[in-house]
Amino acid sequence: MAAISRECLRGLDFLHSNHVIHLDVKSRNILLRTDGSVKLADFGLFAQLTPEQSRRSSVASISGWMAPEVVTGQAYGPKVDIWSFGIVGIEMVERKVPYWNETPGTAQLLIARGRRPQLRQPNRFSPCLCDFLSCCLQPDVMCRWSAKDLLQHPFVTSAKPASTLAALIILTKKKHEETRM
């Protein structure tokens, strides 16, 4: 998870430093190749910012991954991608998006009221991982870390090289192919 996080954050840092917001960060838009490389995909909703316009206000995201500022119709910047990536982090651990069982309206209401998604059993995971997710899922955008900051977080800096994912990806792909037969 740390290696995938590092690679995604490198991509987000690159986008954000070039004034681009992805706006659709979710697990299905993170591609893992058999060599272990990790790619962000599906830029259909991206927003290009300019020095004159460093924030947006249009809503073009999926409920479960939407940051509070998007849900409440406030102007937003690149940190909406960080919130969405925090949701992906919970999804990687729990195999389910927070509030997935709620109606989209209920999920949006919980997020709008500042209710931060949490791991269901945080004591099962390292304090470092829990802190990393907390840094991503800060309801106050000023407290939410940037991609550049998160690349320095101990959870990310402790990651093994992405190439170490190759064997796991190949094994998972093989198991998936066997179940399809």
* Residue 15 CB contacts under 8 Å (≥ 6 apart), including other chains: 21, 22, 40, 46, 78, 81
Whether the Cβ atoms of residue 94 and residue 119 lie closer than 8 Å to each other: yes
The set of catalytic residues is 24
Report the alpha-carbon angle 168-174-180, nearest 5: 135
